[in-house]
Structure 1
Amino acid sequence: MEQPAWDDPALSSGTMVRGALWLLQVIGEGHTFTKNQLRDAFPGISQVDRRIRDLRDYGWVVYSNTEDASLLAEDQRFVKAGVAVWDLNARRAAAPQKAISSKDRQAVLARDGYMCTLCGIAGAEPYPDDSVMTAVLSVSRRTVISADRSETEALVTECKRCKAGRGDAPIDVKDAFDAAGALAPGELRRLARWIERGRRGSTALDRAWAAYLRVPPEQRSEVTDRLREMQ
């Protein structure tokens, strides 16, 4: 379907669709925009910010200063376009699935040790190659291809950067076989112990660091003061 103009008066689509077209045609991938720019483009739309956030359900990636510390509070960065939401068939095919409940989300995060299952970063931890960006974890639904090539669905913990880079790629169990097959005997035995325990062999120090990172930044000074008393 041909991409319509975002400000075409004849366009009957809602604000989410027009907002997607505005991002592509006015802002462009990789560029920043302000909340005032957004409101000026869509005057009289009281929840235009929320409509832009709705695009994330269709694979669009838009960062605020929560995901990218280099951004100001009023800035956002259009990182990557997703599904062509102005195409009704494409939008229907990619319609968000049933929302993940808060209870299920917390259970999955705890199961995965509050770490991204792809890169292993903990929530709120700075990326080693980008110290101004901290990891924000989310729980995603992923298609899983089993060893017999049948497909199921699973909930997994991912950081937003890995989620954006991976797109909708499924999880293939064969990849785990291949990765394990490349290990040296000692590493394979260590992996087997992790599997038996049901968790990676992190140290007490690793777990303490991950717990500290889950504390909101404005309350971390309390932890720091208590640690000084314990030394």
Structure 2
Amino acid sequence: MEQPTWNDPELAAGTMVRGALWLIQVVGEGNTFTKSQLRDAFPGVSQADRRIRDLRDYGWVVYSNTEDATLTAEDQRFVKAGVPVWDSKARREAAPKKAISSKDRQAALARDGYMCTVCGISGAEPYPDDMVTTAVLAVSRRTVVGLGGHETVVLVTECKRCRAGHGDAAIDVTDGIAATADLGAGELRRLLRWMERGRRGATALDRAWSAYLRVPPEQRVEITERIRKMQ
């Protein structure tokens, strides 16, 4: 996208975008500017300095006297340009991710049966190959690549070990199809039942174990004693 002019009256952009263009076209990388100059450039805009600070979320480096002791309280230094925020596509791709709300996190955990969607382990369950370490579940955003190549972002439940192993790698839908290649007819029928229900077909024993693991360790002994009396 061609770089627009910062004070073009036809430019439909907010102060952050115009401020980025002003820094490049008027101030220049490595040079300083004052708060007065910023106010003169954007008259009537009460929070122009805040919009300049917002550019830091997009990789722009602007120093105040906090980062550069040679500057006065009135001065700032434009060190380096970052994401071309006047390009809406680049701006969307680089936008800071909002924190996942508690409501959305709980909904994702419940949908995934409080189990890691990668390895299937439940929260607080010991790893089979490391009985000392128990799984800690987290909800994270993952990019999903569809059959047509289009991408969407979804919330998924993963244990921290699987999350560390996969990093930010995208989930490819074709991998889900390829993984069924070695399944027998009976296994495919069972998988389809899981798909139709929207969850894995855990047994009653699996569900009881998962419910037990969700109880804090100090209360588990009470469950154990109660179940012993049920025998």
User: Aligning the two structures, in what range does the TM-score lie when normalised by the shorter sequence?
Assistant: 0.5 to 0.7
Alignment match, 1:203: 203
Deviations 1:121-155 (A, max 9, x none): 00000011111111000000000000101000000
Secondary structure of 2:183's partner?
coil
Tell me the residue number matched to 2:154: 154
In structure 2, the partner of 1:115 is: 115
- Three-state SS of the structure 1 residue aligned to 2:188 is helix
Distance 1:225 1:130 in 2: 26
In structure 2, the CA distance between the partners of 1:89 and 1:211, relative to structure 1 (3 Å rule), is: farther
* CA distance in 2 between partners of 1:88 and 1:163 (Å): 32
Deviation at 1:214, TM superposition (A): 0.3
The unaligned stretches of length 5 or more in structure 1 are 1-86
Question: In structure 1, how many angstroms separate the alpha carbons of the residues matched to 2:197 and 2:147?
Answer: 23
Match in the other structure for 1:33: none
Distance 2:189 2:81 in 1: 51
Which residue is 1:163 aligned to? 163
Query: What letter corresponds to residue 212 of structure 1 in structure 2?
Result: Y
Q: Counterpart of 1:181 in structure 2: which amino acid?
A: A
Equivalent residues in 2 for 1:1-231 (5 A)? Answer: 97-231=97-231
Q: Give the TM-score of the pair, scaled to structure 1.
A: 0.59
Q: Which amino acid aligns with 1:208?
A: A
The verdict on how the C-alpha distance between 1:204 and 1:96 changes in structure 2, with shifts beyond 3 A counting, is farther
User: For residues 110 and 81 of structure 2, what CA distance do their matches in structure 1 show?
Assistant: 37
User: RMSD across aligned C-alpha pairs, in angstroms?
Assistant: 2.1
Q: Partner residue of 1:13?
A: none
- Give the number of equivalent residue pairs: 144
- Tell me how far apart the structure 1 counterparts of residues 81 and 159 of structure 2 sit (CA, whole Å): 29
C-alpha distance in 1, partners of 2:136/2:95?
Answer: 23
Q: What do the CA deviations read for 1:66-101 (whole angstroms, capped 9, x no partner)?
A: xxxxxxxxxxxxxxxxxxxxx9969x9877511111
Distance 1:229 1:88 in 2: 69
Change (3 A) 1:94 1:226: farther
After superposing the two structures, state which structure 1 stretch, 148-157 or 193-202, moved more: 193-202
User: Identity of counterpart residues, as a percentage?
Assistant: 72
Q: Tell me which amino acid in the other structure corresponds to 2:105.
A: R
What is the distance in 1 between the residues matched to 2:95 and 2:197?
A: 38
Tell me which structure has the larger Cα radius of gyration: 2
1:182 Cα deviation after fit: 2.7
